[in-house]
Amino acid sequence: MADATLQHDVVGHGVAGEYEAPLFGAYSKKVGMWLFLASDSLTFGALLVAFSYNRISNPAWPTPFAVQSITNATIMTACLLSSSLTMVLGVFAAQRHDRAWTRNWLLATMIFGTAFIVLHGMEWSHLIDEGMTPFSNPWAPTVPQFGGTFFTLTGMHMLHVTIGVIYLGVIAFRKWFLPALAAIWIAGYFLIPANNVFHYGIHALGLGLIVAAVILFLKPKDYDAHDVEVAGLYWHFVDLVWMFIFPLVYLMSTKIV
């Protein structure tokens, strides 16, 4: 699709020799997103290395993930993988200018993403209830790094998924997404008990709401197939990162009874 558009640009320009083909054979938005993802992969790479460094150098590393956690994390993985498929279908729909199905597939992607966040939030709450904090854990008192590295790594990923869902919401529904986001934010704040970390964590949606509103009102536009494709790149990247977090954090720390 991108290449076809670029070739049309060549034809449309008319003046021979004046058009210079893009170096990477893709439109600049896409190259920009790839550059961002390359830098973001280094952020996650550093966090994964930090986690693994601590894991290797501490033989007493706790293995608290019993069958319930592993099942939960497997369902979360399936959610993310399926969301990547619906995202691809959304990009196809956008490329054939089918607005209704673009919206539907993006909504399906957002639902899978939200399911991931909710399941992960439940997992976090469960671990916190058992006494795990960023500075200590009940399973291995000599390895306080477990909490810090676990919450930093998975928290950073959860933040990326949340940003991804908001990003897709903006692309799919534009300014009509803002009231829905505000409603989820306020409902979440009142429905989540005050002793749960997500009672305050849900304010991330408030920040997302402000950023999305600024973008939508300062630069209102009708998002096209290229925008959907670029949003898809970001979404698949979030999926990709989880493919490393899941085995390293969960499967290498299973508790066999």
Could you tell me the smallest distance in angstroms from the CB atom of residue 142 to another protein?
8
Could you tell me the smallest distance in angstroms from the CB atom of residue 137 to another protein?
18
Residues 193-232: x/- map of binding to another protein (CB under 8 A)?
------------------------------------x--x
Q: Which helix (H) or strand (E) holds 35?
A: helix 28-57
DSSP summary character for residue 137 = -
Evaluate whether 66 touches 243 at the Cβ level (below 8 Å): no
Taking CB under 8 A as the rule, does residue 131 contact another protein? no
Give me the residue label for tokens 């600024």.
Answer: 214
Q: How far apart are the C-alpha atoms of 102 and 98, rounded to whole Å?
A: 6
Residues 8-47 that bind another protein (CB under 8 A): 23-26, 31, 34, 38, 41-42, 45-46
Taking CB under 8 A as the rule, does residue 240 contact another protein? yes
Measured CA to CA in angstroms, residue 238 lies from 81, 143, 231 at distances of 10, 29, 11
Binding residue for another protein (CB under 8 A) from 29, 72, 88, 111? 88
DSSP summary character for residue 174 = G
Evaluate whether 146 touches 137 at the Cβ level (below 8 Å): yes
* Nearer residue to another protein within complex by CB, 185 or 246: 246
Taking CB under 8 A as the rule, does residue 251 contact another protein? yes
Evaluate whether 217 touches 26 at the Cβ level (below 8 Å): no
- R_g (Cα) of the chain, nearest Å: 21
Number of residues that bind another protein (CB under 8 A): 53
Binding residue for another protein (CB under 8 A) from 1, 10, 183, 214? 1
Could you tell me the smallest distance in angstroms from the CB atom of residue 156 to another protein?
16
Question: For residue 30, what are the contacts with CB-CB under 8 A and spacing of at least 6?
Answer: 2, 226, 229, 230, 233
Residues 40-79 that bind another protein (CB under 8 A): 41-42, 45-46, 49, 52-53, 56-57, 59, 67, 70, 74, 77-78
- C-beta atoms surrounding 129 within 10 Å: 10
Taking CB under 8 A as the rule, does residue 95 contact another protein? yes
Binding residue for another protein (CB under 8 A) from 84, 102, 137, 162? 84
Angle at alpha carbon of residue 120, lines to 118 and 124, rounded to 5°: 115
Residues 148-167: x/- map of binding to another protein (CB under 8 A)?
--------------------
Taking CB under 8 A as the rule, does residue 104 contact another protein? no
Query: Which residue(s) pair with 136 in the sheet?
Result: 133
Which is nearest to 88 in space by CA: 248, 236, 199?
236
Using CB under 8 A, list all residues that contact another protein.
Answer: 1, 3-4, 23-26, 31, 34, 38, 41-42, 45-46, 49, 52-53, 56-57, 59, 67, 70, 74, 77-78, 81-82, 84-85, 87-89, 92, 95-96, 142, 229, 232-233, 236-237, 239-240, 243-244, 246-248, 250-252, 254, 256
